[in-house]
Amino acid sequence: MPEDTDAPGHMPRTAWLLPVGTLACAGFGAPAALALALGIGAAFAGANTAPERWHHRAHWLLQLSVIALGAGIELPAVARAGLDGLGVTLVSISAILVIGNLVGRALGVPRHTRLLISAGTAICGGSAIAAVAGVLKPRQHETAAALGIVFILNAVALVLFPFIGRLLHMSEPAFGWWAALAIHDTSSVVGAGLAYGPQALTLATTIKLARALWIVPVAFFIAHLENRQNRADNREPASGTAAGSKFPWFILGFIALAALRWTLPGFAPAGDWIALAGRHCLSASLFLIGAGLSPLALRKVGWSPALLGLGIWIPTAAIALLFAVLWK
């Protein structure tokens, strides 16, 4: 397709869609599914001429949004969600990592790729993939494939989960648990919760952030396994400390604002406004996430890694749905 430009050396005519769309979604607080769809439309229109730059902006905007959401939640609620989900988290993370490795091996997916996809599915999508990639040091296309698969499945989940939840008449707490356990990235968990209702948003966010804390121990465990494999193959050991640089520090900001609201009751009115601003910024970040889903990004995902991503995500989502409906 020929590039839509005014003249050689100029930006495409559609380049204005990204800054304008970001501001519009933030200003109006566009619904999560609409913001994502608008972003995808902008991507297919060729508006995203600097995907790395806009991805970086979306990443920081998302982190600020999640931090701001902490101002609307009291710290005891965060602690309860983390403790309630501790057993489920341990079992589900372990099962997904083991099953993902076995299924990936059966499909002929390279070891690093299947570890990245499994970690992203088990914990929190792109953040977990980045942490594990820092340990494994995979080839660039392996990391790109894992990120692409998780990104596409997140986009699907953001639209599909609220639809299924309403179809099944799920309560907001049950949907919050389901979204937190079955959707990869924090952004899509928060976006799905936002689309379903305020109680679902609060519960899904707190459970997912508590789950995200497992990035570091899992990354160090994978580093230990990688070192064993490297010693067996007479290769240079992996650097386990690399995972530390990928710790999602924004979680601490979320907890700090939740603690502030709990300890200073007078902060509550301001906290509500901050949380509202966070929801509006979240709409903008979802627009930018959608803007990264270009045809080129879709073509980078191979069939075997894609089958692995689907093969471990669909059973995970189904089991999490049963858990949420029957026990929550």
| Tens digits of residue pLDDT in 226-250 | 777 767 666 555 544 444 444 556 7
Residue-level pLDDT at 88: 78
Distance, CA of 286 to CA of 284 (rounded, Å): 5
- Over residues 96-122, the mean pLDDT reads 90
Residue 22 in tokens: 């970001």
Q: Tokens 């494994």: give the residue.
A: 136
d(CA 190, CA 60): 15
Tell me how far apart the alpha carbons of residues 108 and 54 are, in angstroms, rounded to a whole number.
33
**Among residues 182, 117, 284, 200, which one has the least CA distance to residue 190?**
200
Which pLDDT belongs to residue 248?
Answer: 56
**DSSP category for residue 301:** S
More confident residue, 185 or 33: 185
Check if the beta carbon of residue 187 is closer than 8 Å to that of residue 289. Answer: yes
Q: Kindly report the CA angle at 219 between 218 and 220, in degrees rounded to 5?
A: 90
pLDDT tens readout for residues 300-324: 666 888 899 999 999 999 999 998 8
Q: Measured between alpha carbons, how far is 274 from 317 in angstroms, rounded to an integer?
A: 32
Q: Comparing 192 with 251, which gets the higher pLDDT?
A: 192
Provide the b/e sequence for 148-166 (b: ≥16 CB within 10 Å): bbbbbbbbebbbebbeebe
Within 10 Å of residue 142's Cβ, how many Cβ atoms? Answer: 22
Residue in the structure block whose two tokens are 């707490």: 173
Q: Where are the domains of the chain?
A: 19-327
pLDDT at 192 over 50: yes
Mean pLDDT of the region 49-71 = 80
**CA–CA distance, 322 with 234 (Å, rounded to integer):** 45
* pLDDT mean over 124-139: 74
Nearest-CA neighbor of 201 among 44, 56, 49, 32?
32
Among 256, 213, 217, residue whose Cα is nearest residue 240: 217
Q: Is the pLDDT of residue 78 over 90?
A: no
Q: How far is CA 7 from the centre of its chain?
A: 38
Rounded to whole angstroms, how far apart are CA atoms 156 and 153?
5
Instruction: State yes or no: pLDDT of 6 exceeds 50.
Output: no
Contact 119, 128 (CB under 8 A): yes
Structure tokens at 179: 């979204």
Task: Report residue 147's pLDDT band, with 50, 70 and 90 as the boundaries.
Answer: confident
Report the candidate in 207, 221, 235, 151 with the shortest Cα–Cα distance to residue 323.
207
The answer for 5, left when phi > 0, alpha when psi is -120 to 50, beta otherwise, is beta
* Residues 282-305 pLDDT 10s: 788 778 877 877 777 666 666 888
Rounded distance between C-alpha atoms, residue 248 and residue 230, angstroms: 27
Report percent pLDDT > 70 for the chain: 81
Cβ neighbour number for residue 260 with a 10 Å cutoff: 17
289: Cβ contacts below 8 Å, ≥ 6 apart: 36, 39, 58, 62, 151, 154, 155, 187
Q: Nearest-CA neighbor of 188 among 198, 197, 199, 201?
A: 201
Averaged pLDDT for residues 3-18: 60
Residue 127 exposure: Cα atoms within 13 Å on the Cβ side: 29
Backbone angles phi, psi at 93, to 5 degrees: -65, -45
